[in-house]
């Protein structure tokens, strides 16, 4: 039986003006709610890249590891219904599994 690999989610995010219009308390409430759900579903944020200084299309690029596709489906529902993320963040995601690069091109 094949080993079940974690799902890798590559996330591109741009913060919309609506986020900046929130009060500091509302921003913190959003971030705490967001983080709690990430932790509950077992997400490991492997890397978050701040590219605001070098890219006009995206503010952040994230690399996340998820235990399963089912957890990502729960996350997608939460992002839409629980956070209404679409109102304050534009995003694009790609899913895949991790592969080793250690032996690439080696004889």
Q: What is the CATH number of the domain that holds 81?
A: 3.30.70.100
Cβ–Cβ < 8 Å for 51, 100: no
Cα(5)–Cα(64) distance, rounded to whole angstroms? Answer: 13
Residue 32 belongs to a domain: yes
Number of domains in the chain: 1
- Tell me which of 25-29, 37-41, 54-58 is least confident: 54-58
Q: Which of 20, 18, 40 is nearest to 84 (CA)?
A: 18
Q: Which pLDDT score is estimated for 2?
A: 60
Residue 93 belongs to a domain: yes
Owning domain of residue 49: 7-97
105 has pLDDT over 80: yes
Using CB atoms within 10 Å of the CB of residue 107, give its burial: 0 to 12 exposed, 13 to 18 middle, 19+ buried.
exposed
- Span 72-98, pLDDT tens digits: 999 999 999 999 999 999 999 999 999
Residue 104 belongs to a domain: no
Residue 106 belongs to a domain: no
What is the share, in percent, of the chain residues with pLDDT greater than 90? Answer: 89
Q: Which pLDDT score is estimated for 84?
A: 93
């Amino acid at each position: 039986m094949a080993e079940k690999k974690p799902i890798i989610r590559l996330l591109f995010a741009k913060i919309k003006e609506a986020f900046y219009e929130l009060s500091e308390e509302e921003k913190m409430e959003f971030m705490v709610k967001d983080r709690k759900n990430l932790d509950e579903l077992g997400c490991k944020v492997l890397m978050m890249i701040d590219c605001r200084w070098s890219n006009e299309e995206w503010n952040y690029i994230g690399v996340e590891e998820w235990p399963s596709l089912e957890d990502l489906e729960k996350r997608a529902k939460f992002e839409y219904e629980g956070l209404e993320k679409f109102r304050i963040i534009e995003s694009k995601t790609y899913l895949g599994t991790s592969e080793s690069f250690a032996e690439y091109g080696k004889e």
